[in-house]
Amino acid sequence: MSKLTVDISTSLDGFVAGPNQTLDQPLGEGGEGLHKWAYKLASWRQSHGRSGGETGADSEIVDEALRSAGATVMGRRMFSGGAGAWEDDPNANGWWGDEPPFRHPVFVLTHHGREPITMQGGTTFTFVTAGIEAALEQARAAAGEKNVAVAGGGEAVQQYLKAGLVDELQLHVVPLLLGDGVRLFSGHLDSGQVELERIRVVDSPAVTHLKYRVVR
Amino acid sequence: MSKLTVDISTSLDGFVAGPNQTLDQPLGEGGEGLHKWAYKLASWRQSHGRSGGETGADSEIVDEALRSAGATVMGRRMFSGGAGAWEDDPNANGWWGDEPPFRHPVFVLTHHGREPITMQGGTTFTFVTAGIEAALEQARAAAGEKNVAVAGGGEAVQQYLKAGLVDELQLHVVPLLLGDGVRLFSGHLDSGQVELERIRVVDSPAVTHLKYRVVR
């Protein structure tokens, strides 16, 4: 069976977005700093329909994550950009533009059902109201042999970790302390502690990639 | 001037101790797992008056931290072992045994003054009620050319970070999710976000050492 992977950028103090998220500032105050390392990379630029960019270890790691995923699951806030946006306009198309970088089926966890959206470049957004396991089942069917990636935010990652469904966890640790915002690890684990096995550590001045397997 | 350094073991989800700390279990439930990587090392064993142990990169990193520090600052709970111990018996000598591993002056942040204690092997415990800057000043005087290390716990580290006094931050990241306990990064930073500069990343299967300089 394909793996469920988490791939997410975090500050050293464990925040995946800054405080005060809005539609104009979906990553919160200071949250842009968590993703700067990726913007300049060839693999990231290619997924966003742009040419050029830096090659090297960081770019290869992004490329690996992009290639290995056949479907993505994300939380509703990550889709809609900030907590307020969805409630204000439940039909908003999020902040991903006309051609989102996923280029495969994306399943959005939500309490408000709506029709799927087909974007340019191969991305579809399907809205799942039946919970995280139902979303994972649909994503696995869509991904085939490839992995299913949980893209975020922190709450969605936590839910899958708590349920013991995550196989691999890769954190892109950015040399920054945000002090406030959305935590990646915010809650108790139903299973008590979870043991991990280090797969790989790769570092550059801009970011350190820590990749672990969840031990069961 | 000598540097103020933080050197602390943490779970990947940011806990420096497990939940429910007591005198019998000063690292909380599951907290022992945060330090297992060190117990087997030659440098750690030597500082604890024991012979033998593994050499290699992990041992060298511990050795470097031990050699570079001329004085230590710690929070009251780290000295007394758990939240309850001190209140129950304000004259308790903590849980460090007769010959603590520091082998230099240690300054304990507390609200309850008491006379200094001289232990075997070069460790003294001095109790500072005048706040973190006073403790740092005394520790700097004691350390001479060497560094002052903040040994923990999470609250003491946070206070020095918030005040902008930390020069270097080394986290020993253990492949474990605790889900609950004492957080290393628990609060807002007065300065907003803090930029770090990566000094070095060293990893082994048991632990990943992330060392940063605080950018001012």
**CA separation (Å) from B195 to A13, A27, A32, A40, B86?**
11, 17, 13, 19, 36
Q: Is B12 on the interface with A (CB under 8 A)?
A: yes
Quote the minimal CA–CA distance from B69 to chain A in Å.
Answer: 24
- Please report residues of B whose CB lies closer than 8 A to that of A173: 210
Q: Is B180 on the interface with A (CB under 8 A)?
A: yes
Q: Is B178 on the interface with A (CB under 8 A)?
A: yes
Size of interface A-B (CB pairs under 8 A): 98
Better-scored residue on pLDDT, A10 or B90: A10
Residue-range domain boundaries for chain B: 4-18+41-214
Residue A172 has pLDDT above 70, yes or no: yes
Average pLDDT (A68-84) is 84
* Residues of chain B with confidence (pLDDT) below 70: 82-94, 191
Q: What pLDDT digit, counting tens, does each position of A96-123 carry?
A: 888 999 999 999 999 988 999 999 999 9
Q: What pLDDT digit, counting tens, does each position of B93-124 carry?
A: 667 888 999 999 999 999 988 999 999 999 99
Q: In this structure, which CATH number among 3.40.430.10, 3.30.365.10, 3.30.70.20, 3.40.50.300 belongs to the domain A4-13+29-87+94-214?
A: 3.40.430.10
| Among the listed residues A158, A204, A210, A152, the one whose alpha carbon sits nearest the alpha carbon of residue A37 | A204
Q: Out of A18, A187, A198, whose CB is closest to B203?
A: A198
Better-scored residue on pLDDT, A202 or A76: A202
What is the b/e burial string over B56-65, where b = at least 16 CB atoms within 10 angstroms of the residue's CB?
A: eebbebbbeb
Q: What is the pLDDT of residue A89?
A: 60
Element (H, E) at B64: helix B57-68
Q: Is A150 on the interface with B (CB under 8 A)?
A: no
Q: Is B177 on the interface with A (CB under 8 A)?
A: yes
Average pLDDT (A148-155) is 92
Element (H, E) at B212: strand B207-214
Backbone angles phi, psi at A41, to 5 degrees: -85, 145
Which tokens in the block code for residue A81? 């950009």
Q: CA B171 to CA B212: how far, in whole Å?
A: 9
Residue A5 has pLDDT above 70, yes or no: yes
Can you identify the CATH homologous superfamily of domain B4-18+41-214? Dihydrofolate Reductase, subunit A (3.40.430.10)
Q: Verify whether the Cβ–Cβ distance B193 to A178 is below 8 Å.
A: yes
Q: What is the pLDDT of residue A82?
A: 55
Q: Out of B176, B185, B192, whose CB is closest to A14?
A: B185
Q: CA A195 to CA B2: how far, in whole Å?
A: 38
Q: Verify whether the Cβ–Cβ distance A175 to B193 is below 8 Å.
A: no
